[in-house]
């Protein structure tokens, strides 16, 4: 699963982003409108320090980028069978409108605008098929569902599995086709490239993953290679294959191809290790009743901080993924756990292209210099770590239970708010202790203030947006954030420290008692958009929603004459 923070429900940003020009549902966008829709994605160059790798490892990365390009081809086909012929015809159209459509199609990986509830923007294209190209074009969802439910258990598991499409046989009956057959040629080419990369690298865990993933492309059994992916422990961290199931809007069964070819960020990994060493100390001083603290924290699931070299397929269809949690296969998760990967240079690009412009609108001039990427990213890391602190397994009326079970529909929003606000509290503790630099105290609260407007822009029908609205309103009520006469907002440097501690205490105490009633009341009262905040959101319509990355890949693209 992925798409936390920046990427969740980005579609809801569209009405805000283009509020001045609501689309006519039936009409195709004009050239000017298509250009405005495209401008919501700010072009940005993304690069990673490839030159620091030895030559052999660089060559391995070059092979992986070639393999990643194949994931793009496969993803386009998974989205729609019509994508390939449509791309050919748009490539021949040299009109300005034709070129704009081609560009936007490549951004969306199909002729439907992902930020605008999948409205088509090319003539002759119907509504986006909800089952994408995973199921027969002429089949209804109910027919496929009835057929699956009538199958013997083993066949049913295959038909509902991650790695099969459903097609019609010569007799017209449905059948499950393994990806290794459906995408045979492309996967054979990708497997060859992974094996070449495996031969080039000297790093044993990378070699092991690449050989096993190449075998999986041909056998359709991904288990061993997912386990090997969890064991990666070198400078190069590739994620390549079929992973997320969001594109299958019928059932969420079918995995879409994507790739993140990344390099481990050594400085941030070291910072993460330093923060990780402080966690028990932070838990022991949480601003809650001592009896509610956990004297022995469990092991954390691993977090990797990386810079992306090349992203492809589902990874950058519309809104770009900035963090993901994989694998999704429950059997692997039970055996090996899962790994959270943060794409630092993607986060930084979004910070530059989206968050700084938001700060330019929402903050007074004097405060804008205190918005910093280091503060932003350090808080994201602390947010992830704080999910592991505070009440989780609890006792209510003598009964052993969990916060999640007790708080039900209020649980996620409160948990996200907890991770944010206790993250601020924790960073302040570490600044006071001298673990983190004192300058962070200047930047982290103002940076957080600017980032709340970015999150709320995505809407309140999602846990992160609701959690952020709860914090913003609590801080406004406490006088820790201040609305100024010109409509901008600033931080009160004294009151914010107590406000972060108090809200941490309030949320964690509700969680510790599994108090669903209090959780519901708090969210109903605070997870709202009040008029001063609404006015700022209205002023953000010209600020980009996301980025359009240009990967700076410093080796030549694959030679066309290469034998395949």
Residue window 184-223: x/- pattern of binding to Zn ion, with contact defined by CB under 5 A: ----------------------------------------
CB of residue 99 to Zn ion, shortest distance in Å: 40
| Cβ at position 467, least distance to Zn ion in Å | 8
Q: Which stretch binds Zn ion (CB under 5 A): 274-282, 395-403, 418-426, 550-558?
A: 418-426
The continuous run of DSSP H or E covering 42 comes out as strand 41-46
CB of 384 to Zn ion, least distance (A): 7
**For the CA atoms of the chain, what is the radius of gyration?**
24
Kindly tell me which of 120 and 276 has the beta carbon lying closer to Zn ion.
276
Is residue 259 within 8 Å of 240, Cβ to Cβ?
A: yes
Q: Which of 421, 340, 410, 336 is nearest to 379 (CA)?
A: 421
Could you tell me the smallest distance in angstroms from the CB atom of residue 5 to Zn ion? 7
CA neighbor of 11 nearest in space, from 119, 114, 128:
114
Between strands 164-168 and 174-178, the pairing is: antiparallel
Considering only 214, 323, 394, 419, the residue that binds Zn ion (CB under 5 A) is: 419
Between residues 200 and 417, which has the closer beta carbon with respect to Zn ion? 417
CB of 340 to Zn ion, least distance (A): 10
Least Å from the CB of residue 10 to Zn ion: 17
Which secondary-structure segment (H or E) carries 95?
none
Least separation in angstroms between CB 322 and Zn ion: 12
CB of 390 to Zn ion, least distance (A): 13
In terms of Cβ atoms closer than 10 Å to its own Cβ (0-12, 13-18, 19+), residue 486 is exposed
* Least CB distance to Zn ion at residue 416 (A): 5
Cα–Cα distance, 71 to 65 (Å, whole number): 10
Q: Rank residues 114 and 383 by Cβ distance to Zn ion and give the closer one.
A: 383
| Residues 53/61, Cβ–Cβ less than 8 Å | yes
Pick the closer one to Zn ion by CB: 46 or 463. 463
Instruction: Please report, as residue ranges, which positions from 24 to 83 form the binding site for Zn ion (by CB under 5 A).
Output: none
x/- track of binding to Zn ion for residues 398-417 (CB under 5 A): ------------------x-
- Closest by CA to 64, choosing from 201, 175, 229, is 201
Minimum distance of Zn ion from residue 463's CB (angstroms) = 8
The two three-digit tokens of residue 275, written as one number: 């923060």
* Cβ proximity to Zn ion, 394 vs 419, nearer residue: 419
Q: How far is the CB of 464 from Zn ion (least distance, A)?
A: 7
Helix (H) or strand (E) holding 393: strand 393-396
Cα 180-125-161 angle, rounded to 5 deg: 25
Which among 453, 498, 487, 486 has a CA at the least distance from the CA of 472?
Answer: 453
> In this complex, which beta carbon is closest to Zn ion, that of residue 348 or of residue 416?
416
Q: Least CB distance from residue 4 to Zn ion, whole Å?
A: 6
Based on CB atoms, which residue is closest to Zn ion, 119 or 455?
A: 455
Number of chain positions touching Zn ion (CB under 5 A): 2
Q: Which residue, 122 or 381, has its beta carbon nearer to Zn ion? A: 381
Q: Is cis: bond before 327, omega within 30 of 0?
A: yes
- The token pair at 131 is 């089952």
Q: Which residue sits closest to Zn ion, CB atoms considered?
A: 419
252: left (phi over 0), alpha (psi -120 to 50) or beta: left
Which CB sits closer to Zn ion, 419 or 510? Answer: 419
Using CB under 5 A, which of the segments 92-100, 108-116, 156-164, 419-427 binds Zn ion?
A: 419-427
Q: Which is nearer to Zn ion, 75 or 324 (CB)?
A: 324
Residue 50 contacts residue 556 (beta carbons within 8 Å): no
Pick the closer one to Zn ion by CB: 372 or 455: 455
Q: What is the DSSP letter of 111?
A: S
Residue closer to Zn ion by CB (options 226, 416) is: 416
Which positions ≥6 away from 322 have C-beta within 8 Å? 4, 5, 6, 7, 342, 343, 346, 347, 350
Q: Does 382 interact with Zn ion (rule: CB under 5 A)?
A: no
* 528 phi/psi in degrees, rounded to 5: -135, 165
Reading the block at residue 53, the tokens are 């790798």
Quote the CA–CA distance of 216 and 521 in Å, as a whole number.
50
Which residues of the shown chain bind Zn ion in the complex (CB under 5 A)?
416, 419
């Amino acid at each position: 699963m992925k798409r936390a923070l920046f990427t969740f429900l980005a579609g809801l940003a569209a009405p805000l982003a283009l509020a001045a020009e609501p689309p006519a549902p039936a009409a195709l966008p004009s050239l000017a409108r298509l250009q405005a829709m495209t401008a919501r994605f700010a072009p940005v160059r993304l690069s990673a320090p490839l030159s620091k790798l030895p030559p052999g490892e660089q060559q391995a990365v070059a092979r992986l980028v070639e393999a990643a390009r194949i994931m793009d081809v496969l993803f386009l086909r998974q989205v729609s069978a019509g994508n390939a012929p449509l791309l050919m015809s748009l490539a021949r159209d040299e009109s300005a409108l034709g070129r704009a459509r081609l560009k936007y199609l490549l951004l969306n990986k199909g002729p439907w605008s992902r930020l605008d509830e999948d409205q088509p923007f090319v003539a002759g294209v119907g509504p986006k098929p909800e089952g994408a190209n995973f199921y027969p074009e002429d089949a209804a969802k109910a027919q496929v569902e009835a057929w699956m439910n009538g199958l013997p258990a083993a066949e049913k598991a295959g038909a509902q599995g991650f790695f099969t499409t459903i097609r019609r046989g010569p007799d017209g009956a449905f059948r499950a086709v393994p990806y290794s057959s459906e995408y045979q040629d492309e996967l054979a080419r990708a497997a060859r490239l992974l094996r070449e990369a495996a031969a080039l690298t000297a790093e044993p865990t990378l070699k092991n993953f690449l050989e096993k993933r190449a075998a999986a492309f041909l056998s359709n059994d991904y288990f061993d290679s997912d386990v090997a992916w969890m064991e990666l422990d070198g400078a190069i961290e590739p994620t390549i294959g079929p992973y997320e199931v969001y594109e299958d809007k019928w059932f969420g069964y079918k995995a879409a191809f994507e790739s993140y070819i990344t390099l481990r960020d050594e400085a941030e990994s070291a910072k993460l290790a330093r923060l990780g060493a402080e966690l028990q100390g932070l838990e022991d001083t949480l601003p809650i009743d001592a009896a509610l603290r956990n004297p022995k924290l469990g092991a954390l699931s691993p977090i990797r901080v990386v810079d992306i070299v090349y992203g492809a397929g589902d990874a950058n269809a519309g809104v770009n993924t900035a963090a993901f949690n994989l694998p999704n296969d429950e059997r692997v998760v039970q055996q090996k756990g899962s790994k959270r990967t943060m794409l630092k240079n993607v986060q930084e690009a979004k910070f530059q292209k989206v968050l700084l412009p938001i700060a330019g609108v929402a903050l007074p001039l004097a405060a804008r210099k205190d918005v910093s990427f280091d503060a932003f990213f350090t808080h994201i890391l602390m947010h992830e770590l704080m999910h592991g602190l505070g009440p989780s397994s609890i006792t209510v009326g003598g009964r052993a239970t969990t916060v999640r079970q007790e708080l039900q529909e209020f649980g996620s929003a409160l948990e996200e708010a907890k991770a944010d606000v206790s993250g601020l509290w924790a960073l302040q503790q570490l600044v006071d202790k001298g673990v983190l630099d004192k300058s962070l105290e200047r930047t982290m609260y103002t940076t957080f203030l600017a980032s709340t407007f970015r999150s709320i822009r995505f809407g309140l029908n999602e846990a992160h947006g609701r959690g952020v609205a709860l914090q913003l309103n609590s801080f406004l009520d406490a006088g820790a954030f201040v609305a100024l006469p010109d409509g901008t907002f600033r931080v009160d440097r004294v009151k914010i420290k107590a406000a972060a501690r108090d809200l941490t205490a309030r949320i964690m105490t509700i969680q510790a008692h599994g108090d669903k009633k209090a959780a519901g009341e708090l969210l109903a009262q605070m997870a709202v958009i009040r008029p001063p905040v609404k006015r700022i959101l209205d002023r953000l319509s010209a600020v980009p929603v996301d980025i359009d990355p240009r990967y700076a890949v410093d080796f030549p693209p694959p030679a066309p004459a290469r034998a395949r």
